[in-house]
Amino acid sequence: IYFDTGVIEVATPIVELEPGCCYRATRLLWEQIRYLRRELDHWAKRNRCQCRLQGFSTHYNFSFPRARRSKFRNATKLAYLLAHILPVPVILLAANRQSSAVGVRPRRTRVEVTADFTPDPALMLATCAFVAGAIQTVLSWENFGLRQLNRNRIPRVTPFRLRKHSSRRGWRVTADSLAQSPFVADTNAPLWKLRDGRILSLRAIAAETLSPFRRRIRRISDSNILEHIAAVFAGNARSLLDFAERPETYDDVGRTIDWGRRRMRRWPRSKYEKVIHRVIAREPMRVG
């Protein structure tokens, strides 16, 4: 937990990309939000005032392995390709009616996906799993050229205009990147023209985009999370875009935390988490 230009940033420790990692990352973040909320409550009580914690954004960071780098495979090219893949699915999983952008930034040894904060842990978990599964899949591709979109049958909306990211390098899809704002449009209406001539809804586009990433998503999360993602894209599970207004939970985060899927709390701690907990608790450790 640290302060950065007037806001409180909550960061998770490093989480290894392995089965259960998305559960662990989401759980770690919400445990820290709960801790911060309790500390703010104590402060408010001492000062006889009210203190709200307002959600702003969520950043998903993934390391880019050095062994996989080449002239045609680097963090910048990866981020640019992901900026053509992730926006529509992430908008459905993580955005609300007042959201303004979904972005991807190359950060030397990693890539960073930026989206609105998601006050629903289950939807945040779904977002994390989709992004992680997509990145892991793309990293296995021969190169990061845009031709990979057609090769992997990923639908491409037209017009599609990437904007510069608001901070540092990178790209983002904003309300004016497409023919109309995807943040306020009907998610179920066939409004979006594709390069192949079809006209689909946001949900249908997201469902098609999901196809090449299913195997990796299931591997690093599980079938329940994959089913949840597919249900959101099919309209059988809620997206925050299904609400006419941004949910009030954005403006008072952490008062109550609905874990929803119980396995999020039961999933065992990773070895790295156990080490960090021992360090914080000043417990003895054996090295070697």
* H or E element in which residue 200 lies: strand 199-200
- Is residue 206 a part of any domain in this protein? yes
Nearest to 170 by CA among 78, 89, 85: 78
Q: Domain of 66?
A: 2-281
H helices present in the chain, as ranges? 21-46, 75-85, 87-94, 121-139, 147-151, 202-210, 214-220, 223-234, 263-266, 271-281
Mean pLDDT of the chain: 90
Tens digits of residue pLDDT in 44-90:
999 999 988 889 999 999 998 777 778 788 999 999 999 999 999 99
Let me know if residue 203 belongs to a domain.
yes
Closest residue by Cα to residue 21 from 216, 256, 228, 229: 216
286 domain-assigned: no
pTM for this structure?
0.91
162 is a domain residue: yes
Look at 22 and 267; give whichever has higher pLDDT: 22
**3-class secondary-structure state, position 194:** strand
Residue 115 belongs to a domain: yes
**Which residues are CB-neighbours of 49 under 8 A, at least 6 positions away?**
none
Specify if 72 maps to a domain. yes
Asked if residue 287 is part of any domain, the answer here is no
State the pLDDT at residue 262. Answer: 45
DSSP 236: S
Tell me whether residue 288 is in a domain: no
For residue 102, is pLDDT > 90?
Answer: yes
Taking only the tens place, the pLDDT of each residue in 250-275 is 999 988 877 665 455 566 777 777 77
- Helix, strand or coil, per DSSP, at residue 159: coil
Tell me how many domains the chain contains. 1
Give residue-wise pLDDT tens across range 212-252.
999 999 999 999 999 999 999 999 999 999 999 998 989 99
Coil, helix or strand at residue 24: helix
pLDDT of 1 over the 60 cut: no
What does residue 91 show for φ and ψ, rounded to 5 degrees?
A: -60, -45
pLDDT digits (tens, 9 = 90+) for 143-197: 999 999 999 999 999 999 999 987 778 999 999 999 999 999 999 999 999 999 9
